[in-house]
Structure 1
Amino acid sequence: MAKKLVECVPNFSEGRNKKVINAIVDAIKSAEGVEVLDVDPGYDTNRTVVTFIGEPDAVVEGAFRGIKKASELIDMSKHHGEHPRMGATDVCPFVPVNNITVEECVELAHKLAKRVGEELKIPVYLYEYAAQKPERKNLANIRKGEYEGLAEKLKDPEWKPDYGPAEFNPKSGATVIGVREFLIAYNITLNTREKLYATDIALEIREKGRPKRTGNIKPFYTYGNIVKHKEGEFYCGNCDFVAKTQEELFEHCEKEHNYDLKAIYKEHGIDYTNLVGKPSIKAGKFKFCKAIGWYVDEYKRAQISINLTNYKVTPPHIVLEEVRKLAAERGLTVTGSEVVGLIPFEALYQAGVYYLKKQGKSAGVPLDDVLKTAVYSMGLNDVSKFDIKEKVLGYPSLDDRKLINMSVKDLIDEVSRATPAPGGGSVSALASALGAALSSMVAGLTISKKKYLKVKDLMAEIGEEAQKIKDELVRGIDDDTDAFNEYFVALKMPKNTEEEKKAREKAMLEGLKKAISVPLKTAENSLKAIEVAIKVAENGNINSVTDAGVGGEVAYAGLRGAILNVLINLPGIEDKEFVNEMKKKCDSLLNNGQNLVEKLRKVVEEKIKQLEK
């Protein structure tokens, strides 16, 4: 069963003193079983975001050690920085990553908060999924007043901490602990030093929006006059509709603009039960988006600092494109952007696909090419270095794979040696991977031609499909050798006692089944590779039709080779039902493959005849 993995992203109120930052990080690392993925200090924000991962108990221990060290080394009474904050460890969220639920992470948050409150005497508030009260769900709401207003806040019974003393801790402040979905901390940089300009754009994009204004609102909306509700006249913030009652206004916003105006007023701390004399609120452009403007002296530029709390609904590249548009309307230019901490692989990959399609190109290119397109298009190297392998969470690295990282010559030499692996299974996967790669190539060569505009979308889809098939087959090159090696290890297990014999037999059976499952998967992917070869041969650039033909032929060879590797291992298995099932699958794959490759050959031959005319 897969391990339970939790990510923890504590934010510490120190971004300038490297000794302090290193000491805190070392304290986290000292907890056995945690892996620090990223350390991102900011000089002007005077804040460091640490990202680490591990199994639940290890992560809780690492977080506690980091919070404890921060409480020893950071004095909040002397802290100054651009970012809102209320404690030495300002916020410490847990994020479920693998095989763990939000509810389980909430238990971890309580466990950590209790320990921090009792042992370190730091007031702790719980937020997001761990929140005990509705008004504490939003981090910004808890942090309102920041460190400077904390002493007064703690006197209010409504703001009694969830854990720890309701007493002001002048050195450490307070800490907010919780559970949230993956958050992308994303900053967009402008070609100006004016914080006000960045703020003007930030208020436009954030979900909670801003007061509606009229008059002098172009180019900067901030300069207009605030619109306030009157008795019998309640103004929609996002259109010209005027309601006669508050309820009519709420219903209009829900039906016409798809947002909950009552919730937005709550976000602004405004009593929605009596709106007369209160500002009309213009909802922001993006859901799950929080944003502020600030000036970063280190870069000599203003930035829009953004938290995206659900990147699947509001991805960073879409926000960036809207900010570019809003900046241009204000005579400004976006010079680039930066990711603070990590970004999920899927978020960056989708950005790369978006920009490739915007350029009229196929996203059916190698994975790193897609990711690099995103990096260049979003200007992620503008103010700080962006290393894909370090900054992308879930990056499907194959650096640990021995065979696929060899040169072509070295791999061929390795196959030629008198060792049983790598053997036919790995070579079959390689052959079919090359076949899928050729189909992707033909799709890409078709998209760039005006003659094939009608099939451009189809070719883009095929190119991406071919790349996915290719990547699966590439993994199979090493997987096949690894599976054989596991079986070989089982074969050499001791067999002196009955217990050892049973253990060996069990390990050998498991090894054999794995040695069968890997080439079977290769065969299935090989069949898919033949299918995409037919599609590009039928619809693609006719001048590359033989490349499609070669792609299908080598994929067919890979399919037949993979099937042979399944069949050779079946005699060692006594489970007749399993053996028969495997033979049926192999027969079906071979028949389908033969029919498809014959179809491909006819298509290729016909296309060649067309060229001869």
Structure 2
Amino acid sequence: MSQKLVECVPNFSEGADMAKIGEITRTIESVKGIRLLDVDPGADTNRTVVTFVGSPDDVEEAAFLAIKRASEIIDMRAHKGAHPRMGATDVCPFIPVEGVTMDDCAEMARRVGKRVGDELRIPVYLYENAATSEERRNLAHVRKGEYEGLEERLKDPYWKPDFGPADFNAGAGATAISAREFLIAYNISLNTRESKYATDIAFELRKKGRVARTGNTLPFYFKGKLAYYSENNYPCGNCDFIAKKPEGLTEHYKADHDIDFAELCSLHDVDMDKMPGRGVLRAGKFDYCKSIGWYVDEYERAQLSINLTNYRETPAHLVLEEARRLASERGLVVTGSEIVGLVPFQAILESGKYYLEKQGQSTGIPVRDIIKAAIQSMGLDDLAPFDIEKKVIGLPKEYDNALVDMTLRDLTDEVSRETPAPGGGSIAAAAGAMGAALSSMVSNLTQGKAGSEDIDAVMTENAEKAQVLKDALLLAVDEDTNAFNAYMNALRLPKKTAEEKEYRLEQMDAGLKEAVNVPWQTAVRSFEAIETAKVAAELGNVNSITDAAVGAQIAYAGVRGGLLNVLINLKDIRDKYFVEEMEKKCAELEIKATELLKMINSFVDNKLLELRRP
């Protein structure tokens, strides 16, 4: 079950004064729910990169407060540093991690930008995915002239800020705010000490590519002779095509390679009107990929150092597989890889699924098993242990001291004590989770076996659905108890005055509605678990048909148990329309679940009779 998680990576124009940096980071951490991940100061650049994550609302608040505090303690009039900058908070990008979209982050950038402009009177420019025009997407273009040229730039109507005044704020400068993709810093290790070998592969991978060569390019491309453009001779660096004019080359790249040649020229600072004498450009394989080769003393081997700026379009596992292919052509071996910093949950999950699918295995298994498949397949623990808890950001939501983390005996004992929670709602959710787990088991036992080719896709999909239901229902074991606790807390509110009595009743109603919603979702998901049990029973390995039947039976207990917990709480809710609607929905779901269970039981009973016949 996904949570809403956003990463924010503001860059502050202070890299030496740790007291000031500490003030900013303490301000960020003052917002409840924020997790500070990294603080990276640089004395030479006089700049500090801070990384923190949290829910969208919490991240917005922390970002604004950090920009505010930075404007109070950093004076740009005294700032010197090697890194381009134009403000106390130079940039502030919002990055979707889990449960949010790029559009969501762009809206966050706009809201924070408006607040910074209105309340702090700091000029704000939006860039990348939050940009208000194509000309402002590129940060380098927005920041051109830096702080020293900002006063004059603000006088130009073309450079009117997106938010805030067009007045020069001498102390704080200006801030650029954006929404962008998560950047994965990814290194691939080779069994060589030669950095030039790593660079040879890196240039083939990166979007920018390299200057093309001719002649002796195998196995190492860098050994070939550099090729140049000349009048009426404009070769393609990626095939044998030769154009007489640059326009013909542009058309060829688009038609045959789906490459924007003008963009490729821009990456190499090549003026398309002055191409003769410049090196022929050879585009690399992957968009959103920047890479170089280097030698690492600590590891005594060469590495490809890679930045993946959009893992959804260019995932690490595809880059790794191409690197393995290119290394093999050069007589090299990829010994492993490493992720520097953090990796989004969805990114490593997709990598794990990729390798499981390549092996013909089901992807309908627990998410941590999928992540472990990625770690093993990519050699992510080659240089150091890969700690899932520390390295993966946006892992599915879990509760601290969760009931589901108890042993079965301890949980059973906890339920048996003289306390109202955990009670029937939690146990109904646990029952539904077990039913879904059995459906996944039968599907996985069937998939990938000899003769199962026609149903492999269906069984994998069924197992994946069952896993999602299982995880959501396991969360509901604790959510049911927490929801009931919210109602109990409302009961304890004061009720001396008329206002207190009314507020108490409102909170009791809200608590009861939440206490109703959780078991209702338990019932709905348990019904869906019965549906997965039906698929498992009808198409699954016949030797496991009774497991599917047990899954359906216990998932039905989850449905019935969830509905009972809904109905018992409806009697005290004052909202009559809500009560009537829920009673109607409960009756309809129970009929559907009963009919579906009857259908499965009939199918399984008949199949068992067939199996017993001589």
Task: Please classify the TM superposition score into its range, dividing by the shorter chain length.
Answer: 0.7 to 0.9
Assess if the C-alpha contact under 8 Å between 2:70 and 2:89 holds in 1. Answer: no
Letter aligned with residue 192 of structure 1: T
Q: What is the rounded CA distance, in whole Å, between the counterparts of 1:436 and 1:21 in structure 2?
A: 52
Determine the C-alpha separation between the residues in 2 that align with 1:501 and 1:7. Answer: 42
**Distance verdict in 2 for CA 1:212–1:464, change over 3 Å:** same
Describe the shift of the 1:330–1:131 C-alpha distance in structure 2 as closer, same or farther (beyond 3 A): farther
Change (3 A) 1:49 1:603: farther
Q: Per the alignment, do residues 49 and 609 of structure 1 end up closer, same or farther by CA in structure 2, a change over 3 Å counting? A: farther
Q: Letter of the aligned partner of 2:316 in structure 1?
A: P
Q: Give aligned pairs, total.
A: 582
Residue 112 of structure 1, CA deviation: 8.9
SS of residue paired to 1:545: helix
Query: Does 2:388 align with 1:388?
Result: yes
Separation in structure 1 between the aligned mates of residue 91 and residue 336 of structure 2, nearest angstrom? 28
Q: Which amino acid aligns with 2:25?
A: I
Q: What's the counterpart of residue 293 of structure 1?
A: 293
Distance 1:140 1:565 in 2: 58
How far is the alpha carbon of 1:449 from its aligned partner? 2.4
Letter in 2 for 1:505: L
Letter in 2 for 1:521: Q
Using the TM superposition, give the Cα deviation of residue 580 of structure 1 relative to its aligned residue in structure 2, in angstroms: 2.2
Per-residue CA deviations over 1:28-66 (Å, capped at 9, x if unaligned) read 2454328454338899x9999652235335335547879
- How big is the shift at 1:277? 3.1
- Corresponding residue for residue 81 of structure 1: none
Q: Which amino acid aligns with 2:93?
A: F
> 1:222/1:606 Cα in 2 relative to 1: closer, same or farther (>3 Å)?
farther
Q: Flag the 1:192–1:180 CA change in 2: closer, same or farther, 3 A.
A: same
Q: Aligned letter for 2:471?
A: D
Residue in 1 that maps onto 2:9:
8
1:270 aligns with 2:270: yes
Equivalence for 1:505 = 505
Q: Per the alignment, in what secondary structure is the counterpart of residue 532 of structure 2?
A: helix
* Per-residue CA distance 1:270-301 (angstroms, 9 max, x = gap): 00133333333222111111112222222222
Q: Is the aligned partner of 1:210 residue 2:207?
A: no
1:459-470 mapped onto 2 (5 Å cutoff): 459-470=459-470
Distance (whole Å) between structure 2 residues aligned to residue 198 and residue 138 of structure 1: 29
> SS of 1:419's equivalent?
coil
Task: Measure, in 2, the Cα distance between the counterparts of 1:110 and 1:208.
Answer: 35
What is the Cα deviation at residue 348 of structure 1?
Answer: 1.0
What code does the residue aligned with 1:299 have?
A: Y
Find the counterpart in structure 2 of residue 484 from structure 1.
484
Q: How many Å apart are 1:573 and its aligned residue?
A: 2.6
Distance in 2, matches of 1:192 and 1:125, equals 45
How far the C-alpha of 1:176 sits from its partner, in A, is 9.2
The question of 1:95 aligning with 2:85 is answered no
Q: Which residue of 1 aligns with 2:38?
A: 39
> Equivalences for 1:323-334 in 2 at 5 Å?
323-334=323-334
SS state of the match for residue 453, structure 1?
Answer: coil
1:58 aligns with 2:58: no
Aligned position for 1:105? 109
TM-score (norm: length of structure 1): 0.82
The alpha-carbon deviation at position 507 of structure 1 amounts to 0.9
**1:412-433 CA-partner distances (Å, limit 9, x unpaired):** 1111112221111111110010
**Contact persistence 1:401–1:478 (CA under 8 A):** no
C-alpha separation between the residues in 1 aligned to 2:6 and 2:543? 50
Q: 2:584 maps to which residue?
A: 584
Comparing 585-594 with 603-612, greater Cα deviation is found at 603-612
1-structure distance, mates of 2:133, 2:509 = 54
Query: Residue in 1 aligned with 2:25?
Result: 28
How many angstroms does 1:477 deviate by?
A: 0.8
* Secondary structure, counterpart of 1:295 in structure 2: strand
CA drift at 1:101: 3.8
Residue of structure 2 equivalent to 1:421: 421
Q: Among the aligned pairs, what percent are the same residue?
A: 46
Query: Structure 1, residues 472-510: CA drift from partner, whole Å, max 9, x if none?
Result: 111111111111111122123222211111111111111
Residues 141-180 of structure 1, C-alpha deviation per residue, up to 9 Å, x if partnerless? 9999xxxxx99x99xx99x9x99xxxxxxxxxxx998653
What does 1:162-181 correspond to in 2, within 5 Å? 179-181=179-181
CA shift for structure 1 position 315: 1.1
In 1, are the aligned partners of 2:14 and 2:21 still within 8 Å (CA)?
no
**In 2, distance between residues paired with 1:525 and 1:3?**
21
Distance 1:272 1:86, change over 3 A: same
Classify 1:290/1:499 alpha carbon distance in 2 versus 1 (closer, same or farther; 3 Å): same
Counterpart-to-counterpart distance in 1, 2:110 and 2:242: 43
Which residue of structure 2 lines up, in the alignment, with residue 190 of structure 1? 190
CA distance in 2, matches of 1:597, 1:334: 52
Tell me the equivalent position of 1:222: 222
1:366-389 Cα offsets, whole Å, 9 max, x none, are 121111221222222222342211
Distance change (3 Å), C-alpha of 1:536 and 1:4? closer
Deviations 1:155-211 (A, max 9, x none): xx99x9x99xxxxxxxxxxx9986532211222222222221111111111112222
Distance change (3 Å), C-alpha of 1:127 and 1:508: closer
The answer for the alignment partner of 1:167 in structure 2 is: none
The residue identity in structure 2 corresponding to 1:548 is A
In 2, Cα distance between the equivalents of 1:554 and 1:532? Answer: 13
Partner of 2:165: none
Cα distance in 1, alignment partners of residues 301 and 91 from structure 2? 28
* C-alpha displacement of 1:523: 0.8
**Taking structure 1 as reference, are residues 549 and 132 closer, same or farther at Cα in structure 2, changes over 3 Å only?**
closer
Q: Which amino acid aligns with 1:33?
A: V
Q: CA RMSD in A?
A: 4.3
Kept after mapping to 2: 8 A contact 1:212/1:281: yes
Please state how far the C-alpha of 1:263 moved relative to its aligned partner: 1.0
Residue pair 1:38, 1:342 contacting (<8 A) in 2 also: no
Change (3 A) 1:554 1:256: same
- TM-score normalised by the chain length of structure 2: 0.82
Is this contact kept in 1: 2:6–2:94, CA < 8 A? no
Note if 1:402 corresponds to 2:402: yes
User: What pairs with 1:153-164 in structure 2 (closer than 5 Å)?
Assistant: none
Counterparts of 2:526 and 2:132, CA distance in 1: 53
Does the 8 Å contact 2:7/2:51 carry over to 1?
no
Q: How far did residue 69 of structure 1 move?
A: 9.4
Residues 192 and 332, structure 1, Cα contact 8 Å, conserved in 2? yes
Contact 2:232 / 2:243 at 8 angstroms: preserved in 1? yes
Q: Bigger shift: 444-453 or 426-435?
A: 444-453
Q: Note closer, same or farther for the CA distance 1:435–1:254 as it changes in structure 2 (3 Å cut).
A: same
Q: Distance in 1 between matches of 2:4 and 2:457?
A: 40
**How much does 1:23 deviate?**
9.2
Q: Is the 8 A contact 1:12 1:49 kept in 2?
A: no
- Matched position secondary structure for 2:314: coil
Please say if 1:259 is aligned against 2:236: no
User: 1:435 maps to what in 2?
Assistant: 435
User: What is the CA distance between 1:234 and its match in structure 2?
Assistant: 2.4
What is the CA–CA distance in structure 1 between the aligned matches of 2:429 and 2:75, rounded to whole Å? 51
CA distance in 2, matches of 1:478, 1:327: 49
